[in-house]
Structure 1
Amino acid sequence: MEAQQDRLVLTTTDLELGMTCVIPVDIMAPGKVTVPQRIFQDVVGNLPDGEITLRADERNLLALSSRKSNYTIHGLPADEYPAIAAVTSEMTLSLSAPVLRELIRKVLFAASHDEARQVLTGCLFQHDGHRITMVATDTHRLAIRQMPLTASATSPFQAILPARALQEVLRVLGGSDDEVTIVITDRQAQFEIGRTRILTRLIEGQFPAYERVIPQGQEKRLSINRQAFYEAIRRASIVAKSESNKIILRCQDGVLAISAETGDVGKAYEELPVQQEGDAVEIAFNAEYLQEALPVMESDVIALALSGPLNPGLITGSDDPDYRYVAMPMQIL
């Protein structure tokens, strides 16, 4: 942390992800010190409401006081802390916070947690001059959100952003309506959100050719109330958890049956009225993959397009025209 003129600059980094936040404060004397982030956060977060006074001495001891609370934290010389320099690039994009929040929220949950396939632990972020696209996949599911490019951008780009960095971006965005400036270089991405700047390394590698995974020409289609579908799956998943979260969907004559069965728990059975196009349906999915996708959609009615029990299903919604979600099926057995 560094006191400069009328502001306090807070900087943190793990060399993969860094953040700088500028806070307007009353400065009695300039100076800087490095302190343990977790301890500082916990102390400040638990102090009573009111003004906080910070003082650092030549021994790198940081004293905090607020009302009748007084703490001292052992720090380190600030000169030894790695600097986070602002990045510049020809690839710059300006988006409103609601648009960026929408892009991230609709796909982030589908990113992989498997570090052995690092390229899948991030989200593909690209713009081609006409639209913005964000994609995430863990090979079992695929989430795609596209938007027309109405914001200012300097040149097209493509980058794989770490999911961990996007989680921080989402957290900092909160409910803001401000403009966000995004700068992309060959190795880094920078997000400027109000007084906060987030800098992250990009994930190197080739993102899968996701377009080839999107099903085409399915002859079976179910139109389902999204909220009722979500609640039925959530209930059935209580039983399905001990059986790899497998739920079975069977649909005939406009009635969708959702079932799960495990030897050590029991059985679950739900029925929902649907609009059915095409032949009868029988397919199994991981309940978790459906549970995570349905809440981020806006449509009251979603469409589940299918072709066969071993082919992926495609979920879309009339109020989500540029959102597509693909889920791989499980074997029914």
Structure 2
Amino acid sequence: MKISIERGTLLRAVAQAQSVVERRNTIPILANVLIEAEGEQVSFRATDLDIEVIDRVPAQVLRPGATTVAAVTLHEIVRKLPEGALVQLSDDGASGRLSVEAGRSRFQLATLPREDFPVMASSEYSSNFAAPAPVLRRLFDKSRFAISTEETRYYLNGVYMHVADGETGRVLRCVATDGHRLARIDAPLPPGAEDMPGVIVPKKTVEQLRKLLDDDEAEIAVSVSETKVRFATPEITLTSKVIDGTFPDYSRVIPVNNPRRMEVDAAEFAQAVDRVATVSSERSRAVKMILDEDRLLLSVNAPDSGAAEEELAVAYADDHLEIGFNAKYLLEIAGQVDRENAVFLFNSPADPTVMREGNDMSAVYVVMPMRV
């Protein structure tokens, strides 16, 4: 194999690959990226046996072929090469070395046979559809903050993507929760997705997927089966196993009759919470919200470090209410609001609170209160 490729193009492809490989693993080949050169393009494939990413980029292929090389090492080398450099990768297939040349720099990297590289088995996908990148980006960006990191409840370690009944008909929905907060995001149902099985997309896959969704013009091909999910553009294909578990009935924890309504400027609210939480202890980070007519008082009392309070003008016309929340949860939820105002719906100091973006029902958040 012998190819010539522009440094920036190579860096983007190798960066995608090396972010998939696990830094610590007992199978040496899993630390490598599989480089395959043919025609006028080169593909870079990496896997951790749960996720597989293939990135195809244009290159001058002087001699077709394939090899595998340490992904992290190759990424570090390419990252440190000068911008605009033309990089030549060559492998004679006999020496067990990949030569990396750019300008006056020369590197020799150990390789492993391509035959040893595990390729994720192809799956029969029961549902295939396409969705614009901004739609998928919104679904996953607004829900991923609520993914649980608790390994004992492994079925919460991802985003539940499924078809559901929304306010205006069938929708494509993403839900994530860790038991303390919940995010439920809806998007119009793409043609072809009607019979899609519900799948739990793992957190690592959600993070990798984010790199595919930056291009607002891109159309993402989505394929779903009971065991795998695949997201693809013409250049990049991301295939992942889904979490083998049953996502809980989240609808039971979303209150439907919280009568007390507060509307507040989302940016002002987030900034005020951030300020008063500065004095709270890291362990609890509790913020008390005290509500009276058109007035919100944010209060923190941390015996070890001090106290703080800030008053905000809000739209509120119900009874006096005092309720406490984890400041981190409030900030994360307020940070999802794209519109100017956030609407909070309360019941009592012990019941879950609902937050929406104005009157938009396509994004609903739930946060559990805490005793303060």
TM normalised by structure 2 equals 0.86
Q: Is the 8 A contact 2:184 2:364 kept in 1?
A: yes
Partner-residue secondary structure (3-state), 2:115: helix
Partner-residue secondary structure (3-state), 1:75: strand
Deviates more, 1:168-177 or 1:136-145: 168-177
Alignment of 1:1-333 (within 5 A): 1-49=35-83, 50-57=85-92, 58-128=94-164, 130-153=170-193, 155-318=195-358, 320-332=360-372
Deviates more, 1:126-135 or 1:8-17: 126-135
C-alpha deviation, 1:152, in angstroms:
4.0
Partner-residue secondary structure (3-state), 1:119: helix
In the alignment, the residues of structure 1 paired with residue 310 and residue 328 of structure 2 have an alpha-carbon distance, to the nearest angstrom, of 17
In angstroms, what is the RMSD of aligned CA positions?
Answer: 1.5
Partner-residue secondary structure (3-state), 1:298: coil
C-alpha deviation, 1:88, in angstroms:
3.8
Deviates more, 1:140-149 or 1:44-53: 44-53
C-alpha deviation, 1:17, in angstroms:
1.1
- The amino acid that maps onto 1:210 is Y
- The amino acid that maps onto 2:115 is D
C-alpha deviation, 1:154, in angstroms:
6.0
Deviates more, 1:219-228 or 1:145-154: 145-154
In the alignment, the residues of structure 1 paired with residue 211 and residue 305 of structure 2 have an alpha-carbon distance, to the nearest angstrom, of 38
Deviates more, 1:256-265 or 1:198-207: 256-265
Match of 2:8 in 1: none
In the alignment, the residues of structure 1 paired with residue 196 and residue 239 of structure 2 have an alpha-carbon distance, to the nearest angstrom, of 20
Deviation sequence 1:57-111 (CA, Å, 0-9, x none): 3222111111122212111111101013554422112100010001001100100
TM normalised by structure 1 equals 0.96
Partner-residue secondary structure (3-state), 1:45: helix
Change (3 A) 1:85 1:178: farther
Question: Any unmatched runs of 5+ in structure 1?
Answer: none
In the alignment, the residues of structure 1 paired with residue 282 and residue 303 of structure 2 have an alpha-carbon distance, to the nearest angstrom, of 9
Question: Any unmatched runs of 5+ in structure 2?
Answer: 1-34
Aligned residues: 332
- The amino acid that maps onto 2:58 is P
Partner-residue secondary structure (3-state), 1:242: coil
In the alignment, the residues of structure 2 paired with residue 269 and residue 101 of structure 1 have an alpha-carbon distance, to the nearest angstrom, of 36
Q: Is the 8 A contact 1:237 1:287 kept in 2?
A: yes
Partner-residue secondary structure (3-state), 1:20: strand
Q: Is the 8 A contact 2:293 2:317 kept in 1?
A: no
Q: Is the 8 A contact 1:298 1:320 kept in 2?
A: no
Change (3 A) 1:218 1:319: closer
Partner-residue secondary structure (3-state), 2:155: helix
Q: Is the 8 A contact 1:302 1:315 kept in 2?
A: yes
Q: Is the 8 A contact 1:93 1:154 kept in 2?
A: no
Deviates more, 1:130-139 or 1:79-88: 79-88
Partner-residue secondary structure (3-state), 1:28: strand
In the alignment, the residues of structure 1 paired with residue 282 and residue 61 of structure 2 have an alpha-carbon distance, to the nearest angstrom, of 58
Q: Is the 8 A contact 1:302 1:318 kept in 2?
A: yes
Deviation sequence 1:125-165 (CA, Å, 0-9, x none): 01259210000000000000012214443623211110110
Deviation sequence 1:226-262 (CA, Å, 0-9, x none): 0000001111222224341111000112210111121
Partner-residue secondary structure (3-state), 1:118: helix
Change (3 A) 1:26 1:243: closer
Partner-residue secondary structure (3-state), 2:60: coil
Q: Is the 8 A contact 2:197 2:226 kept in 1?
A: no
